[in-house]
Amino acid sequence: MTRLEKVRKKMAGKKITLLIVTDLSNIRYLVGYSGSFALLAITHDEAFLATDFRYKSQVRKEVKGAKPVIVKKGLFSLFDEVTKLKRFKYVGFEKMNINYLSYKWIRKLFPKAKKIETENLIEELRFVKDTGEIKKINQASRIAEQALIDTIPFIKPGVTELEVAAELEYRMKKGGGEYPAFNTIVASGPNSALPHARASSKKLKKGELLVIDYGTVYDGYHCDITRTFVLGKANKWQREIYNITLEAQLKAIKAAKAGIKSPDLDAAARDYINGKGYGDKFGHSLGHGIGLVVHDGPRVSSMGKNEMEENMVVTIEPGIYLEGKGGVRIEDDVVIKKSSCQVITRLPKTLEEMELSI
């Protein structure tokens, strides 16, 4: 089945006769449109993509499976231009991806229709990737990896975290990445103990841990990579938490395969870290899906409800964070296979002790 056919099957199961899609990633997934302004209306046999004059040429090139409608008075004027859409009595909408104003429009346009909230109706289809999607994630990873390799000579004491982030993002764009997959994390010294640190004006110092968590986008698809370095020689505690984190990650990669439940995959890494006495220093989930957004489904955590399925693409990223001292995180993207997983990320994971020229 096509992606739209799969959605229509789900609509039928919920007795939805008209589905209003407002999430741009879901719209891109279903009909190929990559612009920043759109609404998609899906019925049992038709689909209409509303956008405005700015994207008139773009929709003609990109959109497949839906009829483009160029609106002049806002996205919801689609229903005035295609009046037959107003006759549907069971109207579904994405409750997690709609603002209050849009919800008011739905109530106004369909006063007598039954409104049906949907959650993850399309997102769940995106969990399992096809061959083309996996190729794009692979290409994003190759671009990002080369960018980090080219950035490493730039990293030295006295350079700021922001300068390293800027160099890395420049290299990714130069290599063909569309834009950073998220705000690039360059966190040194005590900042490396903050899982979602922001690159700052702090200068790198000799002897510090340095966590770089970054990614790029290729043809809409994201990668997400983390590597940890030492600026100079690692001391005992740095080497200890690095080796524990690496071993935990390798155990999770070995366990990753179709059929394993999300909490069990999370436990493959977490139990090892717990056993080494650092369980309270690993406070986030093991990973997440990636695709058209960097935090796609499924969730890979102790609270996750999914089983891994073949061709899901997820991150595996355990970490240990010692407040006020420093932290370690190692992250790879992997494709779930029937009896194992394929690691997309190719960067080495031995502890990199940077030789310093000054």
Interval 174-203: pLDDT, tens: 999 999 999 999 999 999 999 999 999 999
Q: Are residues 209 and 264 in the same domain?
A: yes
Q: Are residues 15 and 32 in the same domain?
A: yes
Contact indicator for 320, 278 with CB cutoff of 8 Å: yes
- Pick the last residue of a domain from 97, 126, 155: 126
Residue 12 domain-assigned? yes
Report how far apart, in Å, the C-alpha atoms of 102 and of each of 74, 115, 271 are.
Answer: 11, 13, 45
CB 273 within 8 A of CB 248: yes
> Residue 193: inside a domain, yes or no?
yes
Query: Packing angle between helix 3-13 and helix 24-31, nearest 10 degrees?
Result: 120
Residue 35: Cβ within 10 Å count: 17
Cα–chain center distance at 310? 18
- Where a domain ends, among 126, 155, 186? 126
| 74 and 194 housed in the same domain | no
CATH of the domain at 173: 3.90.230.10
CATH of the domain at 68: 3.40.350.10
Q: Among the three residues 126, 145, 165, which one is the final residue of a domain in this structure?
A: 126
* Domain shared by 192 and 337, yes or no: yes
H/E stretch holding 61 reads helix 56-62
Residue 55: which domain range?
Answer: 3-126
DSSP track, 278-291? -GGG--S-SEEE-S
188/278 same-domain check: yes
Q: Are strands 225-230 and 217-218 parallel, antiparallel or unpaired?
A: unpaired
Q: What are phi and psi of 90, to 5 degrees?
A: -130, 95
pLDDT tens string for the chain (358 positions)? Answer: 899 999 999 999 999 999 999 999 999 999 999 999 999 999 999 999 999 999 999 999 999 999 999 999 999 999 999 999 999 999 999 999 999 999 999 999 999 999 999 999 999 999 999 999 999 999 999 999 999 999 999 999 999 999 999 999 999 999 999 999 999 999 999 999 999 999 999 999 999 999 999 999 999 999 999 999 999 999 999 999 999 999 999 999 999 999 999 999 999 999 999 999 999 999 999 999 999 999 999 999 999 889 999 999 999 999 999 999 999 999 999 999 999 999 999 999 988 788 654 3
Instruction: Name the domain count of the chain.
Output: 2
Q: What secondary structure letter does DSSP report for 307?
A: B
Whether residues 103 and 242 fall in one domain: no
**DSSP letters for 253-278:** HHH--TT-BHHHHHHHHHHHHHHTT-
